[in-house]
Chains A and B, each alone.
Chain A
């Protein structure tokens, strides 16, 4: 067993930090590898900063974990989940493509371009059956040429989750699984699980599971791109006036010779 796998929660009842570990008979050089239950844990792989300082402070290694399954449970689709992931996307899309498997609606490339992300790095995989979606996700993880994978699933069996998590561990990719909020009740092998709810000017994230102590209450994450507000501030030098539209041109009413 490698030393980094050693995770022994130690009750530190007011004593010095090192003493309980010595009592457990561990050599001094191993103490650095002992995780204490009141500290944040760490990933064995690299983490990619999420771009939201408040979230990074709460995640082990300060970011989204690579080579692990991350579950995001949404109240509903379209509450700002892609804007939450966008800083991570823009880091990855410089070098590697990002795959969306079975998204709930049609992704719009114009929004992607508006985030100043290269359109050619986006890959949309449309499947009709959940089996195909899981197969596609596993193949993408195995191949490893994509930098991130986002998979949408409503119902997913526990065996499939374990399988996906294993495939993710063998890769070096970011892997988010987006599920409905009801799935928060079920057990999952994912080392990081977040519940997302919309909030005014951002999104409210509750950390359901992480390597580290339980965190009560939810985090408010302001989302930088608030489409409506920006649009109002920049686009309207004049107050909108509700006027009647000019005469309606019916189809083929103008003869081609006049045009």
Chain B
């Protein structure tokens, strides 16, 4: 895979604001954004010429360190498709996908997924596929117009070695970096394509040009073995991203955070881990007016490694967040990981979805509504109904259910605070006079702490036939009635 506009996209990822940006290497234009090309900027132009054509263009100095960091980030996130990813010359990556084709549903589906991932990272990929790594590199690197049969990605994908040799024969031989110094000499002897080059006597070429070029050509045609150094995933994950612009809305952080999440997904898959807790730090102003970064800790009830689920969780959390200051950088850290437990596929799917689906739902609801608003019952052995009716966050690890108290006449609805009832004709009144229809249930407890309650509970019925749960407070001589529940 080749990243043709890496010098620009290292500064301005695809999701950043469009504008006229030109990347210059010392004096010459290296690449530019689409808006700048439309204004007349061309590759190879002088710095002064750009100033003449579009004075409002932003000139960015070519930064090799930033580019290599970007390629590393892409390599890390592509580890989710194959463990064998290698860095190649000229902003390219080599992926050995022969073992992954069947898992991802064939070459075309895999190419589509790799392309989507790289686009989400903010880079434009140019993907070539061939039985040899050097051949795939040449196909990915070739400019679109020289491809046989016109432009299009279909021509960059070759699965058989004889088709590959035909395709490579038509490519210009100066695509190989080792042959570029000899461009004029090769044109002088009428040798333009790789096919022409292979027809020339080998010994003479080796003496007159770079021997490395001939080795590369042999590797491309599958005549020599290839040795590649695969990228190793680091022990711990902590990725940082400097944002191209200051971001003032929490939702806009998501695009940038998605890039970090993709990197983390690649890292998790490569190390066969699943994430249980991760921290996203939003960094604000540094230096003299430094503001401490906002930390966003996301805990998962069940460790996950799927990027779409993590993105949804983060989206809901960011939706709730109000930024105190503009964000200039993001840092993502994998705080806690577990060994990955791959899903077991059952022959007959359950109607209610898997337990993992249920966990995902609870996590999603918790991410938006907060932990205290997604609750499951945790009955507590207590006499006071408001204490016995205890609810706990659904994402907490469940303890085994305690021995349930014997079923008592309890209403389904409990009032958060009891309502004091007015009295009419010596009877409690709530909409209509209430008639007591049950025996008394006495609740008297709390003397050991300062919360003594002495209540006599009754079931009462109003004139419209609904049942109410009321109590009389035994406190001295005056009688006070309260409504505490409704039998729904």
* Chain A interface residues (CB < 8 Å from chain B): 75-83, 95-97, 103-114, 116, 119-120, 122-127, 132, 135-136, 139-140, 143-147, 172, 198-201, 226-232, 235-236, 240, 245, 248-254
Residues in chain B near residue A112, CB distance under 8 A: 377, 412
Residues in chain B near residue A132, CB distance under 8 A: 368-369
Closest B residue by C-beta to A232: B438
Q: Which of B414, B440, B450, B475 contacts A107 (CB 8 A)?
A: B414
Find out whether the CB atom of B357 lies under 8 angstroms from the CB atom of A143. yes
User: With the chains together, A81 CA to B487 CA distance in Å?
Assistant: 9
Asked if B322 is an interface residue, CB under 8 A from chain A, the answer is: no
User: With the chains together, A232 CA to B461 CA distance in Å?
Assistant: 13
Residues in chain A near residue B375, CB distance under 8 A: 123-126
Find out whether the CB atom of B388 lies under 8 angstroms from the CB atom of A78. no
Residues in chain B near residue A146, CB distance under 8 A: 352, 358, 361
Residues in chain B near residue A145, CB distance under 8 A: 352-354, 357-358, 361
User: With the chains together, A201 CA to B466 CA distance in Å?
Assistant: 9
Q: Which of B352, B362, B385, B487 contacts A110 (CB 8 A)?
A: B385
Residues in chain B near residue A251, CB distance under 8 A: 446-447, 449-452
Residues in chain A near residue B388, CB distance under 8 A: 110
User: With the chains together, A201 CA to B459 CA distance in Å?
Assistant: 14
User: With the chains together, A227 CA to B374 CA distance in Å?
Assistant: 29
Find out whether the CB atom of A127 lies under 8 angstroms from the CB atom of B373. yes
Asked if B26 is an interface residue, CB under 8 A from chain A, the answer is: no
Find out whether the CB atom of A143 lies under 8 angstroms from the CB atom of B439. no
Asked if B18 is an interface residue, CB under 8 A from chain A, the answer is: no
Assess A245 versus B474: contact at CB under 8 Å? Given A79-B466, A106-B389, A228-B467. yes
Which of B266-288 touch A at CB < 8 Å?
none
Closest A residue by C-beta to B442: A245
CB distance from A185 to the nearest CB of B (A): 21
17 A-B pairs with C-beta separation under 8 A:
A76-B466, A108-B414, A111-B412, A112-B412, A120-B398, A125-B365, A127-B369, A136-B365, A143-B360, A198-B464, A227-B411, A228-B459, A231-B409, A240-B439, A245-B474, A250-B452, A251-B449
Binds A, one of B239-247, B298-306, B399-407: B399-407
Find out whether the CB atom of A227 lies under 8 angstroms from the CB atom of B416. no
Report how many residues on chain B are interfacial, defined by Cβ distance under 8 Å. Answer: 65
Residues in chain B near residue A120, CB distance under 8 A: 376-377, 398, 401
Residues in chain B near residue A235, CB distance under 8 A: 409, 438-439
User: With the chains together, A227 CA to B485 CA distance in Å?
Assistant: 12
Q: Which of B372, B379, B415 contacts A113 (CB 8 A)?
A: B379
Kindly name the residue among B378, B385, B401, B413 whose own CB sees the greatest number of chain A CB atoms within 10 A: B413
Residues in chain A near residue B352, CB distance under 8 A: 95-96, 144-147
User: With the chains together, A75 CA to B431 CA distance in Å?
Assistant: 13
CB distance from B346 to the nearest CB of A (A): 15
Find out whether the CB atom of A198 lies under 8 angstroms from the CB atom of B465. yes
Find out whether the CB atom of B461 lies under 8 angstroms from the CB atom of A228. yes
Residues in chain B near residue A231, CB distance under 8 A: 409, 438-439, 459
Asked if B488 is an interface residue, CB under 8 A from chain A, the answer is: yes
Residues in chain A near residue B40, CB distance under 8 A: none
Which of B59-109 touch A at CB < 8 Å?
none
Residues in chain B near residue A119, CB distance under 8 A: 376-377, 379, 401, 404
Residues in chain A near residue B313, CB distance under 8 A: none
Find out whether the CB atom of A227 lies under 8 angstroms from the CB atom of B364. no
CB distance from B477 to the nearest CB of A (A): 10
